[in-house]
Structure 1
Amino acid sequence: MFLLDQEDRLYRLPNAKFDQILRDPASCRFTRFAGTRVRMTDVAVELVDRQPIRVVWITFGFLAFDNDGYFDFNAFDRHQRARAELALALTTTEPKGERLVVDATDRFVAQGGRWTPSRSLQRLIDAAALEQVKCTRL
């Protein structure tokens, strides 16, 4: 997992640290991100002999931090729930094969929790995930 600041600097966020801030947001303070909404990317890589060889999948989202630098769990949870509800609604059909009407609220909330990188930024993220580029570890 990586966080990107406003200047596109990458910060590696270990999964254990992310799990910790999900369980107990008050346990981790990130003053460099205080009062901001930071882009986040979650990357899965294939390993051979413990060496990363390729990016398997990647997702993009945001993490919000309050003015003191603590993770805003409620904002994250709202986006995750909206994405899940949207995905479930899109796979559900009426008995006659007609699509259900999807509440647009979920669509807008879910979209507000995603972003798309430029090609150059995508290459930088891939290189960091494959350990070809060094970045600050949080």
Structure 2
Amino acid sequence: MGFSSRTFLVAPDDTLWRLSTSKFDRMLRDPASHSLPTFARQRARMASVVVELVASEPMRVMRTTYSVLAFDAEGRLDPSRFEEQQFALVESVVAPVIASSAEENNQPVVDATARFIAQGGRWTPSPALARAIDEAALEQRPCGRL
């Protein structure tokens, strides 16, 4: 038994494109050399899926997260924006714990900046699209590769 991470970009018409982890990593580290012209000038939806493997075969989806990637006019990813959104997501998870502690000490907590930044980097698929993403992650539905 093992796990595999699968990444998909979703085109405006809901077409799914599989993006290898190594390519996504290169896009984050060196966007100038690793662009996706197909997504130029777009905010593309991304689904990151963790799949359980048994004998190297995908068995079930364990977790899916949805985020948004911003591409410039040449199709280069904006890594700083993605990082900012990911840090804000983590902060929005940790903030309620901190707020609870602050309330116990009678300290008001009102900064919601991270929540708004994080919201700009998330999306929720329709049930049909979520099913299509799961099927693609489990290799039950064909999809193109980037």
- Pick the TM interval, shorter chain: over 0.9
Kindly provide the CA deviation profile for residues 33-91 of structure 1, in whole angstroms up to 9, marking residues without a partner as x. Answer: 00000000000000000000100000000111000111111221221121122222222
Paired residues of 1:4 and 1:38 also in contact (CA < 8 A): yes
Q: Which residue identity does 2:116 align to in structure 1?
A: F
> Are residue 126 (structure 1) and residue 134 (structure 2) matched?
yes
**What 5-or-longer segments of structure 2 have no aligned partner?**
1-6
2:43 alignment partner, one of 26, 37, 40? 37
Paired with 1:6 and 1:86, the residues of 2 have a C-alpha distance of 28
What do you get for the CA RMSD once the two structures are aligned?
A: 1.6
Distance 1:95 1:23, change over 3 A: same
* CA distance in 2: counterparts of 1:130 and 1:99, whole angstroms: 47
The 5 A counterparts of 1:98-137 are 101-137=109-145
- Counterpart residue identity of residue 70, structure 1: R
Counterpart mapping for 1:1-138 below 5 A: 1-92=7-98, 93-94=101-102, 96=104, 101-138=109-146
Aligned residues: 138
- Separation in 1, partners of 2:106, 2:57: 48
Q: d(CA) in 2 for partners of 1:101 and 1:16?
A: 40
Deviation at 1:29, TM superposition (A): 1.3
Name the CA distance, whole Å, in 1 between partners of 2:126 and 2:134. 12
CA distance in 1, matches of 2:16, 2:106: 44
Q: TM-score, normalised by structure 1?
A: 0.93
Gaps in structure 1 of 5+ consecutive residues: none
SS in 2 for 1:117: coil
Instruction: Tell me how far 1:95 sits from its aligned partner.
Output: 7.5
